[in-house]
Structure 1
Amino acid sequence: MTTTAKEAREAFGERLRNLRKDAGLTGRQLSELAGWHSSKVSRIEYGKQTPTDADLQAWCIHTRTDDQLPDLVANLRNVEASYLEWRRMRLPHRQKQSVAAEAKTNLMRWYEPVVVPGLLQTPPYAEAILRMVLDFYDEPESDIESSLGARLERQQVLYRGNHRFYFILAEQVLHTRVGTADLMLEQLDRLLTAMSLPRVVLGIVPTKADYRTPVNNFIMFDSRMVQVETISAELTITQPSEIALYDKAFHRLKDQAIHGQDARAMIAAAMADLRSDHDPYT
C-alpha cells in the first residue's frame, strides 16, 4: 500500500512506464509522438512531474491503451488527494468532512476490526476514543469538545434521508475495552438498539471464522470512494479497480458474518462477561 505522496507519484509513474514499454516505445519516441519536451516522459515516470488529464489521454493514445484511461484518471486523483496526514488535519474539520461525504451516500458499507464505528458510538465511548486519538498524535485536548460535537452530529444521518447502512464488525470489537465496564455495557446496548433501525444491517464476524480476506478498517461510499485509516494517515481511494477489491472483501466478510438474533446473542454474551468481571462479589 502506498504510504507517502512521493511513493504514490512514483508508483503511478511506474504504471505509466510499463504501459510505454509494453507498447515498444522509448521515452524519447513517446515524447516526440506527443509533442513534448524530451525529458517530460522521464519526469512523469519517476514521479518528478504530475501529468495532467490531457497528458494521460495522449499517453493512452500513443501506447494504444485507451481502455485504461478512466482508471488512470481516477488513479491520478488518488495520487493528488488521497494522502491526508492526521497531523495536518484538525479533528473537528475531519468530522465535518465525514458529515458531507455521508450525506450524499445512498449505501454506506463499513467494516471495523477493533472498535465500534463512529456512527454507532455513544457519547462517552466517542469521547474516550477521541481522547486516545488526541493523546496518540500529541494534539491538544482543547479540540475535544468540538470534535465530539461534530462526531455526534454525524450520527443524524442514520435517521435522515434515504441512506442505508451495512456495518460489519469483527467479534473483537465487542471485547476491545474502551473506558470502564459500565461505559462498554452502555455501548454494547447501543449496538442492540441500532440493529432495530430499519435502514441498518449489522453483522459480526466470529473470532473463529476462517481467514479468507486480507482486511483493514475501511468505509465504502457507494462505489465511488473508499476510505482506509492507517497509523499515520487516511487514504481516499477512487480508482475503480481498487474499489472493486474492497467490494469483493466486503462481500466475503458479509458472508462470514452472523446477523439478527445470533448477533444479538453474541453481544449479550459479551455484556454478560463484562458484568461478571465488574461484579465485586464474584
Structure 2
Amino acid sequence: MTFDPGELGQSKAALAETLRTMRRRAGRTQVWLAQRCNMSQTKLSNIETGRMIPGLVDVELILRALDAPPEMVAEVAVLARLAHTEWQGKRASWRRGLEKRQSELAALEAEAVTLRYFLPAMVTGLLATPEYIRASLGHSPVDISKTVARKLDRQAVLYDNRKRFTFLLTEQAVRWAVVPSAAMAVQIDRLVSLSHFPNVRIGIIPLGSTIGRGPMNTFTVYDQRLATVETFTGRIVFQDARDIAEHLEVFGLYERHGMFDEDAREMLVRWAASYRS
C-alpha cells in the first residue's frame, strides 16, 4: 500500500464523510445503525463527524449493517487504514522543537510494557552515549542542547523492571562510525553493559547472516498497539492492527537470526577492541 503524506492528513475526514454518506443513502438513522452495531448513538455520531477514528471492527460492523457492496467495502478499508496512519515530517519537528518529539517518545515509552526496536543503521538514543547522541543530531539546523538532555533523561526508562525491551541491531548499526574511534569503543561498551540488565535484551545480527527479507527501515513496536517507522524525512506512525502485526512478524524473523546474551557480548567486545586498536 502506498502512503501519500497529503492523503494521510485528509483520510480521517474522508472516512467520516464516507460512512455518514453511506448511512444516509441507505435511508437509515443513527439510532437504527447504532443499535444494529451494538454501539451508542454518541459513539456513532463521533465517528461520523470525525471526532473519533473507528476501529477496524467498528468499520466492519457498520459496513455489514448497511449491506455495503464489495467495491465500497474495499474503498472504506483503504480509508480506515489511512486514518490509522500518521505522517510526522522532520521539518515540522524542527519548527516545533526537537525536544517536544522527545517528550512524545517518553510518553509512549511510559505507557508501553513491551517495547521492540529494530535498528539496521544506527544505535537508538536509549542506548547511546552523550557524545554519540550529539554527533547523531549534528545535521539538525536547530539548537540541539535541550534535545540531547531529553534523550539522556529518557534513558531512565530502562531501569523500570516492569517493562521489557528488545533491541535488535545489525552489525552495521553497531559499527557505523558516528563518532571517532575511541568514542565508538565507549559506545559499544555501553551496549555490553546494558545487555546485563534483566529487562533488556540486546541482539546482534552480524553481516553474512542469511535473511531473505532486507532491513529496510528503523522501526519500533509499542506493545501490540502502535508502530513507528523512521525515514530520512520523517516518520510514519501506524495504528492499524494489520500494519502492527506485519511489523511484529518482521521483527520476529530478525529476532530468530539474532545473537543474544554471551554470544552477542563476545562479538561486541571484539568490535570495541577493534576500535581501540
Q: TM-score, normalised by structure 1?
A: 0.75
1:238 aligned partner? 239
Matches within 5 A, 1:33-182: 33=26, 56=59, 58-63=62-67, 75=81, 77-79=83-85, 82-89=86-93, 90-132=97-139, 134=140, 139-140=141-142, 142=143, 144-160=144-160, 162-182=162-182
Decide whether aligned partners of structure 1 residues 13 and 207 sit closer, same or farther in structure 2, where only a CA change above 3 A counts: farther
Cα offset, 1:173, TM superposition: 1.4
Matches of 2:244 and 2:198, distance apart in 1 = 27
2:220 aligned partner? 219
Asked if the contact 1:2/1:8 (under 8 Å) is kept, the reply is no
2:258 aligned partner? 257
Asked if the contact 1:224/1:243 (under 8 Å) is kept, the reply is yes
1:199 aligned partner? 199
Cα offset, 1:9, TM superposition: 6.8
Matches of 1:166 and 1:34, distance apart in 2 = 51
Matches of 2:146 and 2:2, distance apart in 1 = 31
Asked if the contact 1:164/1:199 (under 8 Å) is kept, the reply is yes
Decide whether aligned partners of structure 1 residues 240 and 72 sit closer, same or farther in structure 2, where only a CA change above 3 A counts: farther
Asked if the contact 2:117/2:166 (under 8 Å) is kept, the reply is yes
Decide whether aligned partners of structure 1 residues 273 and 84 sit closer, same or farther in structure 2, where only a CA change above 3 A counts: same
Cα offset, 1:161, TM superposition: 5.1
Cα offset, 1:12, TM superposition: 9.1
Deviations 1:139-173 (A, max 9, x none): 22x2x110001101110000135111011001111
Decide whether aligned partners of structure 1 residues 62 and 13 sit closer, same or farther in structure 2, where only a CA change above 3 A counts: farther
Which runs of no fewer than 5 residues in structure 2 stay unpaired?
30-48
Cα offset, 1:272, TM superposition: 2.4
SS of match in other structure, 1:131: coil
Count of matched residue pairs:
243
SS of match in other structure, 1:219: strand
Identity of aligned residues (%): 27
